Structure 1
Amino acid sequence: MKDLSGWGRYPRLFGPLTTALTAASAARLTAAAPGVVARGLGRAYGDAAIGRDRTLAPAGLDRLQGFDPDTGLLRAEAAVSLDDILTTFVPRGFFPPVVPGTRFVTVGGMIASDVHGKNQHNDGTFGEHVEAFTLALPDGRTVRCARDQNTDLFHATIGGMGLTGTILDASFRLRRVDTGWIRQTTSVANNLSDAIGLLSRTSGATYTVAWIDVLARGAALGRSLILEGGHAARDELGPRQAPFPPARAGRVSVPFDMPSGLLNAKTVSAFNALYYRKGALRAGQTSLVPWDSYFFPLDGIARWNRIYGPRGFVQHQCVIPEERAEAVLSIILERLSQTGTGSFLAVLKRLRAGTGLMSFPMDGLTLALDIPVSERGLALLAEIDGLVSEAGGRLYLAKDACQSRETFEAGYPNIAAFHEVRRDAGALGHMSSKQSERLGL
């Protein structure tokens, strides 16, 4: 039995893990018995990548299959990591169309979660850039899915959390970039209303995101740093700057679980105040930042999830429709501040609707929080879920660890259509995770 908990280490779950070394074995193991789901590098935060009865790791499917430099089209097996793609192609002047907050995810996982990044408001989710993939079905067949072939399966698999079958490989296009540097400009928002306004005014930037101080109170409620960025051109570099800086080689590691009380209102408040002041000093300034530290700052700390202690944490990400967003986010921030439940990784972004049948994004604002697991923290998350649901929003399944079935059903209107596609593919009841069992999905 393996420890198969998600990156948040909550809930703590164990189960059998079977490794597939070839596409044929992955297809065979997918069909072998019900209650299975595929698992990549284990970066889903909750219980989404843990099979109801058994978990399949297609770890052997880690080969790049082909690349056309004229079109940027890349073909890769499902277990190829984003890290491998970046280290291979950034020095050649290519960058993925969409990246999440960590480079330690697989191609299959990015499709199943339909990941989004700092450019979602302009460029959509990763799934919108996928041209085709091969899917292993529960009856042992493998089928090609594309926008003009097995269309229903194609759209259900993007964001479908691995519940339609096991992804074996995929094709998608990389974008050309002149350098591996990001031109970043920092702006300061004194409160939530200012932050939302700045996110709107900077929406023309390729990348834009807000770090938000969730423990600020009163007139400073929702104070934020808005970071807008774009890929730098060669002529923006200094004479001694290498055009393509490498990923950081050595990484600091958290060697053991930190004490559970280390992240409390005082420590998080002190960190947030310091981070905000440092950011305010850079207001209006533009600097060049290496791609690695710009997109994946936490990847520089190996096993950073141990900071939250042995009980783990819940990463909670919601999206709220535009017309209700400011009012509801204000209430959420007030409750976080009142209870002293701080998150030093709080992020606010603007989203546009996704295209997958079960894609998370909708037109609105998304807030991502890290909440240490405690009785009070889980009770607060249930309260926040109620506010999100009442406002017509929803939670991101790749980060979900504890939402109720009622919250889930209220947020995803395409559940019936998703079930129908799964039923037609023979996946309903066969492809099943701990999460899908919890949510009735």
Structure 2
Amino acid sequence: MLTSWGLYPKVENSFCTFQSKRELVECLKKDKVYIPYGNGRSYGDSALNKDIIYCRPYNYFLDFDEKNGILHTQSGVLLSEILDIVVPKGWFLEVTPGTKYITVGGAIASDVHGKNHHIAGCFSQSVLEFNLMLPTGEVVNVKPEDELFRATCGGMGLTGVILDAKIKLKKINSTYINQTAIKTKNLQETFEYFERYKDSPYSVAWIDCLSKDIGKSILFVGDFLNDGMLEYKKKKTVNVPFFFPSFTLNKFSVKIFNFLYYNKIREEITSKTVDIDTFFYPLDSIDNWNRIYGKQGFLQYQFILPKKTSYEGLEEILYEIYKSGKGSFLAVLKLYGKENDNYLSFPMEGYSLALDFKIESGLFELLEKLDKIVVKYGGRIYLAKDSRVSREVFEVGYPKVEKFREIRKIYGMDKKFSSLQSRRLGL
């Protein structure tokens, strides 16, 4: 059985793996329809299918221009493996999501973003070029000006198999971040502080979505220090060794967690120095943290709203969540800059909220209510997190989807690459 990080849904599958282009061509010659699969960190069903191409073993480093910060790797390399090599040499990823345990190919296919989208955009904006194997076995070199670039970045593995990529890195002079934490009392205050710190390179807020004070949060902003400390050691992790009983996470336990988390910071504004992993990858310190939600798994629901409607829309959505009592203790709010030209990339200029919900009775009905509010305010759902949104809701949020479908047909991608998600959404 194969599943995503959210442990839902589960699919019986067979896989074809490769360590050379020749082996991948042999996979594609088979009378099967595939989806590329990396390290299994997508939350929903975007990388799930009866037949998968397992890309993780295709994981060699090909070249590193240390002077100019340009890295060339095969697509199965993890971001964590990149950091181990480049950070001690004074480089960091220009854009990184909240986990470092995803592959380069997955980062491109999901066009991931991080705490600095308002400054640096998506991962694709650090990609100089990549090689893509098409359904025929032909390998094409793809650059940012190409339509295959716009289709593949954010295309959820539906355009072919990414073989390798050249990415540009960010110069740093420390493995430490000066982090400022700001406690806010409501959504209006949260927005005010986001705007006040909009020039900070990195920003993200945790929201207490079960509080009657709608939008109460802790905003974290930060930037790299300049102290020349470039030693990068792997931190110890703790492991969740078994699936928690389903009743463990409930309205009351989440309220207790939220109360403790909000009040662990006593001053309204505090600053301290934290390391890279603490600031960028806090959940990576807990192995198998997805087991906290129990064997039934969880859904991550991430949406984004245009800036002009973000406040009103978020207020309405947070109120619906508060009323439902199905609060998430992992609720993350981020500010975004302008969207790029990729056909299915998620970000737009505005605010995004990501929430984790334990799968339980009434959840899908709640999410359908939230979908309607997202559509009402001109927003969209993130495909890398999704496992249940309807085709109708999806299409409203992604106006360039017909161009994506057209390219799939032109290259015969629709006959060779498919996933549970792509069939549900008619991609």
Q: What is the CA deviation profile of residues 187-219 of structure 1, one whole-angstrom value per residue up to 9, with x for unaligned ones?
A: 1211011111211111101100111100010xx
Q: Are 2:90 and 2:171, in contact at CA under 8 Å, matched by a contact in 1?
A: yes
Q: Are 2:15 and 2:52, in contact at CA under 8 Å, matched by a contact in 1?
A: yes
Aligned to 1:24: 22
Q: Are 2:89 and 2:230, in contact at CA under 8 Å, matched by a contact in 1?
A: no
- Distance in structure 2 (CA, Å) of the matches to 1:58 and 1:298: 24
Secondary structure of the equivalent of 1:416? helix
Q: Given residue 312 of structure 1, which amino acid in structure 2 is its aligned partner?
A: G
- Distance in structure 2 (CA, Å) of the matches to 1:253 and 1:147: 40
2:240 is aligned, of 234, 254, 258, to 254
Aligned to 2:90: 93
Aligned to 1:239: none
Aligned to 1:322: 307
Aligned to 1:233: 226
Aligned to 2:422: 436
- Distance in structure 2 (CA, Å) of the matches to 1:161 and 1:90: 28
Q: Are 1:31 and 1:137, in contact at CA under 8 Å, matched by a contact in 2?
A: no
Q: Given residue 200 of structure 2, which amino acid in structure 1 is its aligned partner?
A: A
Q: Are 2:151 and 2:342, in contact at CA under 8 Å, matched by a contact in 1?
A: yes
Please give the residue correspondences for 1:283-322 in structure 2 after superposition, counting only pairs within 5 Å.
283-322=268-307
- Count the aligned residue pairs: 426
Q: Given residue 277 of structure 2, which amino acid in structure 1 is its aligned partner?
A: D
Aligned to 1:10: 8
Q: Are 1:34 and 1:429, in contact at CA under 8 Å, matched by a contact in 2?
A: no
Q: What is the CA deviation profile of residues 200-239 of structure 1, one whole-angstrom value per residue up to 9, with x for unaligned ones?
A: 111101100111100010xx2110111000011117xxxx
- Distance in structure 1 (CA, Å) of the matches to 2:205 and 2:131: 36
- Distance in structure 1 (CA, Å) of the matches to 2:133 and 2:414: 14
Aligned to 2:326: 341
- Distance in structure 2 (CA, Å) of the matches to 1:146 and 1:404: 32
Cα shift at 1:282: 4.6
Secondary structure of the equivalent of 1:225? strand
Please give the residue correspondences for 1:121-132 in structure 2 after superposition, counting only pairs within 5 Å.
121-132=118-129
- Distance in structure 2 (CA, Å) of the matches to 1:393 and 1:171: 32
- Distance in structure 1 (CA, Å) of the matches to 2:320 and 2:401: 31
Over 3 Å counting, the alpha-carbon distance change for 1:190 and 1:437 in structure 2 is same
- Distance in structure 1 (CA, Å) of the matches to 2:165 and 2:121: 18
Q: Are 1:22 and 1:58, in contact at CA under 8 Å, matched by a contact in 2?
A: no
Q: Are 1:21 and 1:59, in contact at CA under 8 Å, matched by a contact in 2?
A: no
- Distance in structure 2 (CA, Å) of the matches to 1:338 and 1:191: 16
- Distance in structure 2 (CA, Å) of the matches to 1:132 and 1:28: 25
Secondary structure of the equivalent of 1:187? strand
Structure 1 range deviating more: 130-139 or 373-382 = 373-382
1:388 is aligned, of 341, 355, 374, to 374
Q: What is the CA deviation profile of residues 241-279 of structure 1, one whole-angstrom value per residue up to 9, with x for unaligned ones?
A: x5434121x321111110111111111011111111113
Q: Given residue 82 of structure 1, which amino acid in structure 2 is its aligned partner?
A: L
Cα RMSD, aligned residues only? 1.3
Structure 1 range deviating more: 18-27 or 256-265 = 18-27
Aligned to 1:65: 62
Secondary structure of the equivalent of 2:384? coil
Residue ranges of structure 2 left out of the alignment (5+ in a row)? none
Residue ranges of structure 1 left out of the alignment (5+ in a row)? 236-241
Cα shift at 1:31: 4.5
Q: Given residue 167 of structure 1, which amino acid in structure 2 is its aligned partner?
A: I
The alignment's TM-score, normalised by the length of structure 1, stands at 0.94
- Distance in structure 1 (CA, Å) of the matches to 2:11 and 2:310: 34
Cα shift at 1:373: 0.5
Cα shift at 1:308: 0.3
Cα shift at 1:159: 0.4
Aligned to 1:244: 231
Q: Given residue 218 of structure 2, which amino acid in structure 1 is its aligned partner?
A: L
Q: Given residue 427 of structure 1, which amino acid in structure 2 is its aligned partner?
A: M
1:175 is aligned, of 167, 170, 184, to 170
Identity %: 40
Indicate whether 1:420 and 2:406 are aligned.
yes
Q: Are 2:244 and 2:293, in contact at CA under 8 Å, matched by a contact in 1?
A: yes
Q: Given residue 247 of structure 1, which amino acid in structure 2 is its aligned partner?
A: K
Over 3 Å counting, the alpha-carbon distance change for 1:111 and 1:439 in structure 2 is same
Q: Are 2:84 and 2:232, in contact at CA under 8 Å, matched by a contact in 1?
A: no
Q: Are 1:97 and 1:129, in contact at CA under 8 Å, matched by a contact in 2?
A: yes
Q: Are 2:185 and 2:216, in contact at CA under 8 Å, matched by a contact in 1?
A: yes
Q: Are 1:134 and 1:168, in contact at CA under 8 Å, matched by a contact in 2?
A: yes
Indicate whether 1:216 and 2:211 are aligned.
yes
Aligned to 1:144: 141
Q: Are 2:299 and 2:387, in contact at CA under 8 Å, matched by a contact in 1?
A: yes
Secondary structure of the equivalent of 1:285? strand
Q: Given residue 224 of structure 2, which amino acid in structure 1 is its aligned partner?
A: H
The alignment's TM-score, normalised by the length of structure 2, stands at 0.97
Please give the residue correspondences for 1:363-382 in structure 2 after superposition, counting only pairs within 5 Å.
363-382=349-368
Aligned to 1:238: none
Cα shift at 1:85: 0.3
